[in-house]
Amino acid sequence: MTTKIRLEKLTAADFPVYFNLVGDEDVMAMITERVIPLEEAKSDYEKRMLENQFHSDFGHFKIMEEKSDNFIGVGKLEIEAPDSDRAELGYMLLPKYWGKGIAGEVARQLIEVARKHGFITKLFAIIDPKNIPSRKILINNGFVSKEFADFDGLPGEVLELVIRN
């Protein structure tokens, strides 16, 4: 049985749980291959807070366990500007929540949000090519592999989901 979750927009008060997440070696192994130090995490988080202002339904979300209010991780449906026609989907979960179907549920919920907005034509996700579980989640949700590229010196696979033409 999948843990029931809810997504809530990250706020300034959520920085401690975000920092705990990006400071976890296991979480970051397939994202940046390193933990994020405090000052860099603060700077990144300030950017997340600005991006959260573009649209009420897009940005960065904390993933919460519905029954207990436990923090599970962070999801994103990120647009680069208020007039973007595509959004990036992503998620990071604390290791104790891996393998429980939560990332798949986060992906489904975020895809549903994107489908509700006529201005979004495509979603994309960037994963480490070695991250087979994330690749499987995205493929199962209709994403297709578009390219392999270098992102800040790290290998990445870009997957895409066309919402509307």
In the predicted model, is pLDDT for residue 134 greater than 90? yes
Cβ atoms of 142 and 133 closer than 8 Å: no
- Structural domain boundaries, residue 93: 5-162
CB atoms within 10 A of CB 22: 21
The CA angle 133-137-140, to the nearest 5 degrees, is 135
- How far is 93 from 73, CA to CA, in rounded Å? 4
Q: Which pLDDT score, from 0 to 100, does residue 153 have? A: 86
- Average pLDDT of the residues in 10-22: 97
Domain count, the chain: 1
Q: Which pLDDT score, from 0 to 100, does residue 81 have? A: 84
State the residue for tokens 């920085």. Answer: 15
- Higher pLDDT: 92 or 164? It is 92
- Average pLDDT of the residues in 49-61: 94
In the predicted model, is pLDDT for residue 27 greater than 70? yes
Indicate which CATH number applies to the domain containing 101: 3.40.630.30
- Average pLDDT of the residues in 9-29: 96
C-alpha 112, offset from chain centre = 14
In the predicted model, is pLDDT for residue 2 greater than 70? no
State the residue for tokens 């700077």. Answer: 43
In the predicted model, is pLDDT for residue 3 greater than 80? no
Q: Which pLDDT score, from 0 to 100, does residue 12 have? A: 96
